[in-house]
Structure 1
């Protein structure tokens, strides 16, 4: 293999790596170096409230409705029933403690028998 693993990394590549590291460290440390208090604008704070749920949806939804990059072709898929049971539990117990753990447990309690027992 040529390049990085053979010990023949050229000067421009090393310079680029060092420069990118410096820019990254500097941009991340500006908040700590500054003497003034810094606050996010109200619109940014409001947007950050929705970031976790948007990230979870972006990861979970494709896993529920797709198989190997294609949409599922049958409703007899254990993931659909598990997701429906988890969502139903979430809205039923909304405001109660441990609602996230309960949602996961209910979803898995529906998924495992359907997937393992019925081979869905």
Structure 2
């Protein structure tokens, strides 16, 4: 059974999360972000995606790759598809269409 300290910590973390996320709804005043902040937030999803994907492409267990493998070719195909179609779905699709046969078929 969970002890009282653990339950208290979970409840405190939940309260902080609700307060932080609901802060803008609790206020009586209308909030508006400056234009520079709105513009910066437009790039947040792609920046987060890059932060997750790039280390996976260029490193293996924290060390830089020594030779090109299926991940690099899949990434190149994804970048080319993005510049051609300007679609995230096309980017993912093209990258996986190149990556999977190389990885599963050739064992790269």
Count of residues paired in the alignment = 108
Aligned to 1:119: 107
User: CA offsets per residue over residues 25-52 of structure 1, 9 Å max, x none?
Assistant: 3343332222221111222111101111
Structure with greater proportional helix content: 2
Which of 1 and 2 has greater Rg? 1
Aligned to 2:76: 84
Query: TM-score when scaled to structure 1?
Result: 0.74
Q: Structure 2: which 5+ residue stretches go unaligned?
A: none
| Partner SS for 1:35 | coil
Aligned to 2:65: 72
Alpha-carbon distance between aligned partners in 2 of 1:112 and 1:22, rounded to the nearest angstrom:
43
Alignment of 1:1-120 (within 5 A): 5=2, 7=3, 9=4, 18-75=11-68, 77-94=69-86, 99-120=87-108
C-alpha RMSD over aligned residues: 2.3
Q: Structure 1: which 5+ residue stretches go unaligned?
A: none
Per-residue deviation, 1:18: 5.0
Query: TM-score when scaled to structure 2?
Result: 0.81
